[in-house]
Amino acid sequence: MADYYEILGVSKEATGDEIKKAYRKLAHKHHPDKTGGDDKKFKEINEAYQTLSDETKRSQYDQFGKDFNQNGGAQGGAGGGFDFSGFSSQGTGGGFDFGGGDFEDIFSNIFGGGGRGRSKSRKRGQDIQVDMEITFEEMITGVRKKINLYKRVDCDRCNGTGGEPGSQIKTCPSCHGTGQIQKITKSFFGSFSQMGICSNCQGEGKTYDKKCSKCGGDGRVKEQQEIEINIPAGIDDGQTLSLQGVGEAGEKGSMAGDLYVIVHIIPHKKFERKGQDIISTEEISLSTAILGDKIEIETLYGKLILSIPAGTQSGEIFRIKNKGVPEINGGGQGNQLVKVIVRIPKKISRAQKKLVEKIRDLGE
């Protein structure tokens, strides 16, 4: 089994945010619904994330490593420092097979748990991650965008139940309505019984005479769905929007996954963003720099007149209030910073040259 940290491409010192960021990037890349997606790799990524994103599971994984993951916390378990790795069906310690069972269930049965069963649970829907590009101008004003997603949705024929409309509900013949089945696990302590979720009814305790003809009993089908996304003004490049419950439908009415939209802002030819401010550059003539004048400049909110005082130096910056990026929470707005560059002509006429020489002779 590959190391979970290696699967996500993070170090063992990675923060929770770094793990989440790595997961989202890889899940997006390998999602089975994408061209070139890899279902096996996608499952590995999800398995690694489910462990490393949970502080308790991560701590146990860091302590016990692969043996813990496979055998339920083998090293140091049960207070005696036993190493159960030799008791697998492929080991040399006696041919016992834990079968991937829940280690807590085994010891619950041994030390007074009395056959604790697992609770009925349905799987939450998968999260979906998409990338979206917006223009620089749309970043300033905010925009609503529509995207089409091919994803699992609740089956409209059976309303997510998995049963053919009109079919009768009956007690599950495998678990007799309990939603759980018993299995025998062998360990070096002996043979012990465990309770697990019934695979026939997925813990429901009931089944239908006929499975839904559209979804095959899953309660979900894959369909194209149009989603409208509201992108707020002032969003940062690379920022992720989270839309709860807009991911794939969960199993038989369980909670849907979330949709994560990573927003990318197309660079502008003239303007550059720096925090909440907009940076731009304007060229002025030498005479304007010396004598002063008024020039027309562009902003993202339209054109306006900027007064250039006499004696302006090349590289000087003028601040135009409230013409920058609005704060995403609506708390204020940045400024536009206009950097003035004095344009020096490469070629001048004889008359111009004489005037410059006269200015030089008069002194600065």
Q: Domain-by-domain residue ranges, the chain? A: 1-65, 272-362
Residue 362, classed as helix, strand or coil, is helix
Q: How many angstroms separate the CA atoms of 88 and 70, rounded? A: 10
What is the 8-class DSSP label of residue 245? T
Assign a CATH topology to domain 1-65: Helix Hairpins (1.10.287)
HSE toward the beta carbon, residue 283, CA cutoff 13 A: 5
- For 328: left if phi > 0, alpha if psi spans -120 to 50, otherwise beta; the answer is alpha
CATH class of 272-362: mainly beta
Instruction: Please list, in sequence order, all residues whose beta carbon lies within 8 angstroms of the beta carbon of residue 276, skipping any fewer than 6 positions away.
Output: 234, 324, 325, 326, 327, 332, 333, 334, 335
Encode the chain (364 residues) as per-residue pLDDT tens digits: 578 889 999 998 899 888 988 988 888 888 776 677 787 888 888 888 888 888 888 888 887 765 554 444 433 333 333 333 333 333 333 333 333 444 444 444 434 343 333 444 567 889 999 999 999 999 999 999 999 999 999 998 988 888 889 888 888 887 877 878 877 766 655 666 677 777 777 677 778 888 899 988 888 999 999 999 999 999 999 999 999 999 999 887 788 999 999 999 999 999 999 999 999 999 999 989 999 999 999 999 999 999 999 999 999 999 999 999 999 877 789 999 999 999 988 888 888 888 888 878 887 5
| 145-204 pLDDT tens trace | 999 999 999 998 988 888 889 888 888 887 877 878 877 766 655 666 677 777 777 677
* Count, residues in the chain: 364
Domains 1-65 and 272-362 share a fold: no
Q: Would you state the structure tokens that stand for residue 163, as one six-digit string?
A: 């049963």
Q: How many angstroms separate the CA atoms of 220 and 253, rounded? A: 9
